[in-house]
C-alpha cells in the first residue's frame, strides 16, 4: 500500500511499514533523523497529500497550540519578551492548528489516523477514538496519547511495562518521582519528547497494515464463500493483490467499480472466515468463489 506518514521526522512508523513491504514515506518540514532520506519527503504535508494517490495516512501534527498546558497564554496580556505567542495571536494559532487536523482527517485519503496528546481537539474537533499509553506497548513511559481514526481499528496493547511505585503512585521511566516529565521544555527536548515510541510505531504498522487486520472485519459480499485462513492466503497469492491489506470500508467502496477480494469474519453465518467479492449475500462453494474471484481480479487489472 502507498502510505504517507505525515509530520514525522523520526521515520519511526515509516520504517516499520517498510519492514512489512509497504511503500511508505515520511513527510515533514524538517529533514528526517531516521536514516532513510530516500523514504522522506521534506515539505508541507498538504502538498504531499495532493501530489499522488495515497491509500492511507498516519499523521502526528504539531501539538504546541493544541495541548492543555500553558492555558494561561490564551488570555489577553502584553506580549512576552521570549516571543511566545499569547492572547489573541495564540488563540488564532490554535484555530489554525485545529483546522490543520480537520483538513488532514477530511483529506481524500480513505484510511487516516491522527495522533496528538490530550488537549483542545477533544472539544474543537471531536473526542478521540482511543487514548493509549506507551507503557501498554512495552515502553517504560507514560504519556496519554489520543488517536482519531478513519477506517482503521483501535490498537490493542502489546505488553505492559510495569511502573515503579513512589508513595503509592505509579511512575514510569520518563517521569520524575513527582510525576513531571524528566525532559523539561526547550526546542530540542520538545523534539525528543515528540518522537513516536518504537513500541507504538510497531503496533500501528502491524495492527493497521499487517496481514492479520483483514480477518477482523465485517462486511457482506456480492458473493462469498466460507474458507480457512490457508485458503484465503492461497487466494491472495494469485498475484500481489493491491487491496489485500486495506480496510473493509475502503475495499467495499472501491469494489463497486473494480471488484475486490477480501476476507471477513462472519458473525451471521457463524464461521470464522468468510471470503467476499464485491457486495451482496450469495454464498458459493469455495472453488467456484475462488474462480470468480480470480476472474474478477483478472478483468480489473
Ligand X SMILES: C[S@@+](CC[C@H](N)C(=O)[O-])C[C@H]1O[C@@H](n2cnc3c(N)ncnc32)[C@H](O)[C@@H]1O
Give the binding site for ligand X (CB under 6 A). Answer: 6-10, 12, 27-30, 44-45, 60, 62-63, 194-196
The neighbour count for residue 205, using CB atoms within 10 Å, is 24
Nearest approach in angstroms of CB 49 to ligand X is 10
Nearest approach in angstroms of CB 289 to ligand X is 43
The pair phi, psi for residue 67, each rounded to 5°, is: -75, 165
Cβ closest to ligand X, residue 27 vs residue 225: 27
Nearest approach in angstroms of CB 54 to ligand X is 14
Nearest approach in angstroms of CB 43 to ligand X is 7
Nearest to 239 by CA among 278, 292, 296, 294: 294
Cβ closest to ligand X, residue 27 vs residue 235: 27
User: Angle CA(246)–CA(247)–CA(250) in degrees, nearest 5?
Assistant: 90
Q: Which three cell numbers stand for residue 142?
A: 507514560
Characterize the bridge pairing of strands 23-28 and 2-6. Answer: parallel
Nearest approach in angstroms of CB 73 to ligand X is 18
Cβ closest to ligand X, residue 70 vs residue 220: 70
Helix, strand, or coil here: 6?
strand
Cell match 505567542: residue?
A: 85
Cβ closest to ligand X, residue 9 vs residue 55: 9
Cβ closest to ligand X, residue 124 vs residue 195: 195
Q: Which helix (H) or strand (E) holds 122?
A: helix 121-124
Please give the C-alpha separations between residue 137 and each of 50, 119, 162, in angstroms, as whole numbers: 33, 22, 11
Cβ closest to ligand X, residue 31 vs residue 168: 31
27 by Cβ neighbours in 10 Å (0-12 / 13-18 / 19+) ranks as: buried
Nearest approach in angstroms of CB 64 to ligand X is 8
H helices, E strands: number in the chain: 9, 13
Cβ closest to ligand X, residue 115 vs residue 206: 115
Nearest approach in angstroms of CB 96 to ligand X is 11
Distance (Å, whole) CA 66 – CA 284 = 52
Q: Which three cell numbers stand for residue 121?
A: 481537539
Amino acid at each position: 500500500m502507498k502510505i504517507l506518514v505525515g509530520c514525522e521526522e523520526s521515520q519511526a512508523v515509516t520504517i516499520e511499514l517498510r519492514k512489512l513491504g509497504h511503500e511508505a514515506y515520511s513527510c515533514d518540514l524538517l529533514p528526517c533523523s531516521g536514516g532513510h532520506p530516500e523514504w522522506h519527503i521534506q515539505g508541507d504535508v498538504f502538498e504531499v497529500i495532493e501530489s499522488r494517490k495515497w491509500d492511507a495516512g498516519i499523521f502526528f501534527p504539531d501539538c504546541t497550540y493544541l495541548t492543555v498546558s500553558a492555558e494561561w497564554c490564551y488570555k489577553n496580556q502584553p506580549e512576552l519578551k521570549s516571543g511566545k505567542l499569547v492572547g489573541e495571536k495564540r488563540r488564532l494559532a490554535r484555530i489554525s492548528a485545529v483546522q490543520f487536523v480537520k483538513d488532514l482527517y477530511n483529506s481524500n485519503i480513505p484510511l487516516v489516523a491522527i495522533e496528538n496528546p490530550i488537549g483542545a481537539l477533544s472539544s474543537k474537533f471531536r473526542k478521540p477514538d482511543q487514548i493509549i499509553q506507551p507503557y501498554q506497548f512495552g515502553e517504560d513511559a507514560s504519556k496519554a496519547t489520543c488517536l482519531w481514526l478513519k477506517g482503521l481499528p483501535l490498537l490493542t496493547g502489546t505488553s505492559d511495562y510495569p511502573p515503579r511505585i513512589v508513595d503509592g503512585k505509579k511512575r514510569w521511566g520518563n517521569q520524575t518521582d513527582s510525576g513531571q516529565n524528566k525532559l523539561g521544555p526547550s526546542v530540542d527536548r520538545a523534539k525528543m519528547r515528540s518522537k513516536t515510541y518504537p513500541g507504538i510505531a510497531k503496533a500501528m504498522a502491524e495492527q493497521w497494515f499487517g496481514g492479520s487486520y483483514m480477518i477482523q472485519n465485517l462486511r457482506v459480499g456480492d458473493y462469498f464463500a466460507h474458507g480457512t485462513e490457508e485458503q484465503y492466503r492461497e487466494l491472495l497469492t494469485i498475484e500481489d493483490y493491491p487491496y489485500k491489506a486495506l480496510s473493509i470500508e475502503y475495499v467495499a467502496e472501491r469494489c463497486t467499480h473494480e471488484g475486490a477480494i477480501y476476507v471477513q469474519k462472519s458473525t451471521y453465518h457463524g464461521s470464522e472466515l468468510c471470503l467476499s467479492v464485491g457486495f451482496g449475500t450469495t454464498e458459493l462453494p469455495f472453488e467456484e468463489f475462488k474462480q470468480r474471484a480470480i476472474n474478477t481480479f483478472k478483468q480489473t487489472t
